[in-house]
Amino acid sequence: MIQFEMIKDVSLDAVVWVACKKGKKNMNLVEIKNLKGEVLFSHDCEDNSLKKTVEEAVRMGVSLEEADLIGASLYRANLSGAYLYRARLIGAYLEEADLSRANLHRVDLYKANLIGANLSRAYLSYANLHGADLSGTDLFEANLTKANFDGPLVK
């Protein structure tokens, strides 16, 4: 029997559905949904989290196009090579995350924490970085064509 409960991420409004399988200790199914509410990827593992699920999706080469990751806590996440076209990462916590070679075309990173993140060779054209904290961020050879930098925080 699977019981569903809705949990809320500590940051902003990212909502994650978790299914707890009876008889399996700390096994959680976490789903990543797009802006229409459709499931893009789901992952079930012991002590699962949104971070582990996103990392697994990236590792498997899953497209996270238009993923709704508002307020997601992805501290030190390995998202190298991720396909996040038009994803919503508003207010996401991406401190020290590896987003090298990621496709972040038209991604919304409004007020995201990108302190110390690796965005080298990332494709950030038309990305919204308004109010994002880019302190110590590695942007080596990143494509920033027409990215919105109105008011980014850089220390």
**Annotated domain spans of the chain:** 2-59
Average pLDDT over residues 120-128: 98
pLDDT at 145 exceeding the cut of 60: yes
pLDDT tens by residue, 73-111: 999 999 999 999 999 999 999 999 999 999 999 999 999
pLDDT at 45 exceeding the cut of 50: yes
Q: What angle do CA 24, 25, 26 make, to 5 degrees?
A: 115
pTM of the model: 0.83
pLDDT tens by residue, 23-35: 456 789 999 999 9
Q: State how far the alpha carbon of 145 is from the alpha carbons of 20, 125, 129, 139, in Å.
A: 44, 5, 12, 13
